[in-house]
Homo-oligomer: A and B are copies of this chain.
């Protein structure tokens, strides 16, 4: 694809030779002839100088840092994302319902259902939906236009999925929330009768699970991106455009605001309120509501195991240590010794 054809489709300002042929994207370092790369991190200026790419996407402020054919755009990384999509259109199976699929609802002609997939009764399915082999879509599920559900994912009955969803393999949407009442030493199951409501443009990672609500619904806002191995408990609300990295857990009824992020293995307790624009660091446990935007962390610092042993041993005596320092301060004050 010619560089000027890319600009014609995706916008941006072309500088230099628009006739150069682009076949693929690559990083500045690994690019070669026929590759287009992007530059946005000023620290990588040396890589920009040395790159063997045929073209580069960059911001106006860096437009003169290279002589290569280039596209100037205010957000080079987002532009680059669109170039990747343009050069690498999704390869889904041919449209139609595989003979081995078990489909119990009428579906639009534009829908793909793979081998051994199962679609229940009264399923409402938008145009161009792709259901990969082995998926199980329960009764009364609704799936918006252009959504893609990868192999062996499961959507329980009654759940709602918006448009352009991407649900990776093995994800489970709508499993029962973990709701039990204690009676003596036994746990009595509380049937979970809510649903999962997923907005538009949501991605759900591989082997991630999102529980249905107990009475009301679990709600995943528009544009939310969930990585793999995540657990979202019943009645959680996640605000629009929030993103969570792998292995995160969110306990029941917690509500996230908009544009939040959670780093890998972050864990958030139940019944909390998390404000808009809160960023939780990787490995952090959140046990209280966070009413202010900002970055929050709770991680024991990494050390060699030997040094860790020495310092960790003091943690258990930390309260005592603080008392001893107070005693010393008191003793010196009585003797009028101050610096």
Contact = CB atoms under 8 A, between A and B. Distances in A.
A223 B186 contact: yes
Interface string A169-182: 11010011011111
A280 B243 CA distance: 27
Interface stretch (A47-55, A59-67, A122-130, A289-297): A289-297
A332 B329 contact: no
Contacts of A152: 134, 136, 152, 154, 170
Interface stretch (A1-9, A14-22, A83-91): A83-91
Q: Would you list the 7 A-B pairs with minimal beta carbon distance, nearest first?
A: A102-B115, A175-B206, A283-B285, A136-B151, A295-B305, A231-B246, A78-B183
A151 to B, nearest CB: 4
Interface string A295-313: 1111111111111111111
Contacts of A201: 186
B170 A189 contact: no
Contacts of A281: 305
Most chain B Cβ neighbours within 10 Å, of A179, A207, A259, A310: A207
A275 to B, nearest CB: 13
Number of chain copies forming the complex: 3
Given A183-B75, A288-B302, A313-B319, A249 B267 contact: no
A109 to B, nearest CB: 21
A251 interface: yes
Interface of A: 25-27, 30, 75, 77-78, 80-82, 84-85, 88, 90-91, 98, 100, 102, 114-118, 132-134, 136, 138-139, 150-152, 154, 156-157, 166, 168-170, 172, 175-176, 178-183, 185-191, 193, 201, 203, 205-209, 211, 215-216, 223, 225, 227-231, 233, 240-241, 243, 245-247, 249, 251, 258-259, 263-265, 267, 269, 281-288, 294-319, 321-322, 324-325, 327-332, 334-335, 337-339
B84 A191 contact: yes
B312 A299 contact: yes
27 contacts: A81-B190, A84-B193, A91-B157, A118-B133, A133-B136, A138-B151, A169-B175, A172-B228, A180-B225, A189-B203, A205-B209, A207-B207, A227-B231, A228-B231, A249-B265, A282-B285, A294-B305, A295-B306, A296-B308, A298-B301, A300-B300, A300-B315, A307-B319, A324-B325, A328-B328, A328-B329, A330-B339
